[in-house]
Amino acid sequence: MKSTECAIWIALSTLCRIGELSKAKFSEIDFELKTWTIPEANSKNGKAHTIYLSDFALEQFKLLKLIAKSETWIFANRDNSSHVCEKSITIQIRGRQSAIILSNRSKDSEALILTGGKWTPHDLRRTGATMMGNLRIQPDVIEKCLNHTEENKVKRIYQRQELKLEQAEAWRVLGERLNLLVTMDGSNVVLMRSHQI
């Protein structure tokens, strides 16, 4: 399903929680400013969160807009009256990591099997954060991108910087890396023989 594929790329490139994405509305996306504002009602910590969309992430939202059945909900339920169940995307991902083909489900049941074992949408959040760290993004910026609440009470009270520019840069860098990985064709890969190492 194309919408699930887009959801996977969005979760990885924005570090969002899958529940936040499941409940998202098109009105929360500013396609011109390239932002997604998650309202406090949809955020786990109850604080609104603005994600500065990389070109990679923005492209996924544009694809979803093209295939949307609802003008309101990015992931609409069957009758377009609300968003999908928060577990819907997770169930779809789980269903594509099995040798068993369930009734009324995708016949491509093994499409998302990875050598490391089964994975969940939450693993995409962790992987995206790890990629940011490997791209030399500072840990405090990654924490802001994850919309985590600072655990250290003193730090939370005295250090209130938002690091918006740094967050935007972090998402941009992550998006560029994902785009590179997705579009690699192998033409710039050089195989090294063991005696060259």
Q: What is the CATH number of the domain that holds 61?
A: 1.10.443.10
Q: Considering the domain boundaries, does residue 68 fall inside one?
A: yes
Residue 87 lies in a domain: yes
Tell me if 195 is assigned to some domain. no
Domain holding 97, by residue range, is 2-183
Amino acid making up residue 181:
L
Counting DSSP H helices and E strands in the chain, the numbers are: 8, 3
Residue 193 belongs to some domain of the structure? no
Q: Are 14 and 128 in contact (CB under 8 A)?
A: yes
Residue 191 lies in a domain: no
CA gap 142, 132 in Å, rounded: 7
Q: pLDDT: is 188 or 123 the higher one?
A: 123
With a cut of 50, say whether residue 72 has pLDDT above it.
yes
Enter the pTM of the model.
0.82
Contact status, residue 76 vs residue 69, Cβ threshold 8 Å: yes
In percent, the amount of the chain with pLDDT more than 70 equals 82
Q: Specify the pLDDT at position 159.
A: 56
Q: What integer is the mean pLDDT of 178-195? A: 75
Distance of CA 99 to the CA centre of its chain: 26
pLDDT at 185: 74
Q: What is the number of structural domains in the chain?
A: 1
60, 14 contact by CB (below 8 A): no
Q: Is the pLDDT of residue 158 over 50?
A: no
Instruction: Evaluate whether residue 197 is within a structural domain.
Output: no
> Within a domain: residue 142?
yes
- pLDDT tens for residues 20-39? 999 999 999 999 999 999 99
What is the DSSP secondary structure assignment for residue 105, as one 8-state letter?
Answer: S
Digit-coded pLDDT (tens) for 76-108 = 988 988 898 888 888 888 877 877 766 666 566
**Lowest-pLDDT range of 8-12, 99-103, 119-123, 172-176:** 99-103
